[in-house]
């Protein structure tokens, strides 16, 4: 990866200039166009070049034609370790440190995972919205340590961001059973959570993600399994290769909408600028996201609304679903609400 968030770039085929605002999966980057700041476009890395003309040039600089040197790798994530034992630890906390600009306004936050306990963890973290992944981090966090995860833009608060954390405590006997938590971040909740962050000792917006790491007693587990079995629909077990999810989250499941309209005009603005290949990639990203979310929540089914049209989106969805280990079956049959324009996915 030669680019980082904030890098000025130029689209090779259109000549348009922009700024990288996010790093997506499969070698794709999110770019905000300079000529339309309200429009962001997912673009493959190979379709971009650095916009040298937009980068500051020092006085007296000389340019020498020749082979371009490899770009330096991004600096490693910062790890700040406390020199003191925290007497009343809160657990694993997510902190958003405001990063004011020159005019004092805040449009960006530095995201940290805080571990004020005496335990060490393997961790998987995902901060995402309905349209894109903002941060994806797999790492290890030591005791009494703040781990830098990346940057979060204020604009993303308007797109219903969610944070997912999965950890395994490291013990002398090996890693414990995984624990996980998913958090919906709402603007009102966010701005009411300003506190002095432990270890960092700065004001930050904070959320406790996990605070109990002791293995459950067998009786407690039996009672929990019995309760969950009575409350949740049956589903196939998630294989080890798929993203782990909570066995039972009644609040999240109750608010989950088990359908998505994949017509491009319902997904993003400015779609008229995109070619058919880019539109299909965006539609598939949204389809894959709702499938994975449904699996995490334990939803029994979802409907992917693709319309009839030429059938390319329907075929791409079918190709994706037939190899998905968490999908029991899917079908594109007549439905009283969608006609033949939707695929029903059953988990």
DSSP state of 123: E
Does residue 60 fall inside a structural domain?
Answer: no
Pick from 127, 198, 138: nearest CA to 168: 138
Q: Does 339 or 182 have the greater pLDDT score?
A: 182
* Average pLDDT of the chain, as a whole number: 81
Q: Tokens 């002398």 belong to which residue?
A: 172
Does residue 65 fall inside a structural domain?
Answer: no
pLDDT of residue 56: 53
What range does the domain containing 277 cover? 250-346
pLDDT digit string, tens, across residues 237-257: 444 444 444 445 677 777 888
Q: Where does the pLDDT of residue 117 fall: very low under 50, low under 70, confident under 90, or very high at 90 and above?
A: very high
Q: Does 193 or 4 have the greater pLDDT score?
A: 193
pLDDT digit string, tens, across residues 319-340: 999 888 889 999 998 888 888 8
Q: Is the pTM of this model over 0.85?
A: no
Q: Cα 325 to the chain's mean position, in Å?
A: 21
pLDDT of residue 225: 57
206 and 94 assigned to the same domain: yes
33 and 88 assigned to the same domain: no
Q: Where does the pLDDT of residue 109 fall: very low under 50, low under 70, confident under 90, or very high at 90 and above?
A: very high
CA atoms within 13 A on the CB side of 104: 0
Does residue 100 fall inside a structural domain?
Answer: yes
List the beta strands (DSSP E) in 200-300: 203-210, 259-261
Does residue 3 fall inside a structural domain?
Answer: no
207 and 134 assigned to the same domain: yes
Tell me the mean pLDDT in the region 75-80: 81
What is d(CA 242, CA 78) in angstroms, rounded to the nearest whole number? Answer: 29
Position 235 pLDDT exceeds 90: no
CB 35 within 8 A of CB 28: no
85 and 131 assigned to the same domain: yes
pLDDT of residue 21: 84
Query: How crowded is residue 332: how many other Cβ atoms within 10 Å of its Cβ?
Result: 18
pLDDT of residue 243: 45
Residue 113 has which token pair? 């995972």
pLDDT digit string, tens, across residues 203-214: 999 999 999 887
191 and 92 assigned to the same domain: yes
35 and 97 assigned to the same domain: no
- How far CA 117 is from CA of 89, 114, 206, in Å, comes to 6, 9, 16
29 and 90 assigned to the same domain: no
Does residue 314 fall inside a structural domain?
Answer: yes
Domain CATH code at residue 262? 3.30.1370.110
- How far CA 151 is from CA of 48, 57, 94, 127, 240, in Å, comes to 21, 26, 13, 10, 30
Give the DSSP per-residue string, 34-47: TT-TT-EEEEEGGG
89 and 142 assigned to the same domain: yes
Pick from 335, 275, 326: nearest CA to 299: 326
Give the chain's domain count: 3
Domain CATH code at residue 147? 2.60.40.1600
Pairing label, strands 106-115, 28-33: unpaired
pLDDT digit string, tens, across residues 144-175: 999 999 999 998 998 889 999 999 999 888 88
Sheet-wide strand order for 342-346: 259-261, 301-305, 342-346, 329-331
Q: Where does the pLDDT of residue 6 fall: very low under 50, low under 70, confident under 90, or very high at 90 and above?
A: confident
Tell me the mean pLDDT in the region 29-48: 79
Does residue 234 fall inside a structural domain?
Answer: no
Does residue 205 fall inside a structural domain?
Answer: yes
Tell me the mean pLDDT in the region 92-100: 94
DSSP state of 246: -
All residues at 6 or more sequence positions from 312 whose CB lies less than 8 Å from its CB, including other chains = 276, 280
Q: Tokens 């079918």 belong to which residue?
A: 318
What is d(CA 290, CA 346) in angstroms, rounded to the nearest whole number? Answer: 13
pLDDT of residue 214: 77
131 and 183 assigned to the same domain: yes
Give the DSSP per-residue string, 81-146: E-SS--SS---EEEEEEEEE-TTS-EEEEEEEEEE-SS--EEEEEEEE-SS-EEEEEEEEE-TTEE
pLDDT of residue 216: 58
90 and 43 assigned to the same domain: no
pLDDT of residue 152: 94
Tell me the mean pLDDT in the region 2-12: 81
pLDDT of residue 29: 83
CB 199 within 8 A of CB 114: yes
pLDDT of residue 23: 81
84 and 203 assigned to the same domain: yes
- How far CA 5 is from CA of 12, 27, 224, in Å, comes to 19, 14, 43
Does residue 35 fall inside a structural domain?
Answer: yes
98 and 183 assigned to the same domain: yes
Helix/strand/coil (H/E/C) assignment for every residue in 183-194: EECCHHHHHCCE
Among 183, 211, 239, where does a domain finish?
A: 211
């Amino acid at each position: 990866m030669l680019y980082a968030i904030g890098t000025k770039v130029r689209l090779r085929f259109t000549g348009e200039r922009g700024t990288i605002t996010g790093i997506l999966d499969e070698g794709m980057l999110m770019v905000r166009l300079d000529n339309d700041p309200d429009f962001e476009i997912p673009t493959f890395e190979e379709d971009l070049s650095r916009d040298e003309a937009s980068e500051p040039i020092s006085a007296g600089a000389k340019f020498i034609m020749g082979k371009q040197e490899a770009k330096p790798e991004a600096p490693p994530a910062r790890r700040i370790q406390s020199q003191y034992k925290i007497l009343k630890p809160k657990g694993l906390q997510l902190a958003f440190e405001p990063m004011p600009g020159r005019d004092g306004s805040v449009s960006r936050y530095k995201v940290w995972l805080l571990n004020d306990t005496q335990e060490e963890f393997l961790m998987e973290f995902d901060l995402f919205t309905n349209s894109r992944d903002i941060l994806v981090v797999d790492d290890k966090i030591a005791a009494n340590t703040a781990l830098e995860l990346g940057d979060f833009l204020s604009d993303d608060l308007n797109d219903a961001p969610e944070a997912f954390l999965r950890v395994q405590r490291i013990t002398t006997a090996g890693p414990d059973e995984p624990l996980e938590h998913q958090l919906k971040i709402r603007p009102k909740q966010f701005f009411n959570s300003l506190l002095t962050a432990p270890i960092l000792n700065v004001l930050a917006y904070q959320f406790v993600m996990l605070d109990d790491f002791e293995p459950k007693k067998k009786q407690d587990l039996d009672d929990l399994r019995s309760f969950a079995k009575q409350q949740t629909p049956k589903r196939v077990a998630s294989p080890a290769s798929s993203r782990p999810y909570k066995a039972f989250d009644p609040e999240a499941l109750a608010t989950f909408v088990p359908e998505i309209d994949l017509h491009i005009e319902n997904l993003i603005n400015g779609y008229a600028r995109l070619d058919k290949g880019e539109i299909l990639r965006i539609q598939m990203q949204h389809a894959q996201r709702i499938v994975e979310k449904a699996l995490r929540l334990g939803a029994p089914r979802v409907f992917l609304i693709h319309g009839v049209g030429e059938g390319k989106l329907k075929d791409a969805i079918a190709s994706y679903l037939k190899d998905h280990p968490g999908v029991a079956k899917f079908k594109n049959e007549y439905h009283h609400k969608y006609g033949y324009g939707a695929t029903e996915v059953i988990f």
